Structure 1
Amino acid sequence: MQNTHIHHYNGYAVKPSAHRLPDGTFSSNLLLERADSARAEGRYQFYSLDYFTNEEQDQPGP
């Protein structure tokens, strides 16, 4: 599941994404890329920030 909208914040492109895990749940990920840097030091990837049970769940559960 890819979000095609790219948000910009403080000089970074913010790209959220999610992927389905083998058990059927989803894992949310985040990529931050510095707009003025094509090198690796301007790129930060965060994996499995949260988990959710269906594609339409956009808020963390209670």
Structure 2
Amino acid sequence: SLIFLSWSFSVIHMVPYFKKHKNYLSTITAPSTIFTQGFATSGLLTEMHQSEIVVPALQSQ
């Protein structure tokens, strides 16, 4: 989902560029795209969400 988010930021950034209008939205979307793409591909996300065995809170005897 982070890859999809970064591609969405890229599209938002490119639309004003092709229309040749000065748009200050691109100053926000360009760094957001780079940061999101870097975070999604860094592998840090998989290290943070390692699954563990779920232990039931109440055990019947």
TM-score by length of 2: 0.22
CA radius of gyration, larger in? 2
**Larger RCO, structures 1/2 (Cα 8 Å, 6+ apart):** 2
The structure that is strand-richer by fraction is 1
The structure that is helix-richer by fraction is 2
TM-score by length of 1: 0.22
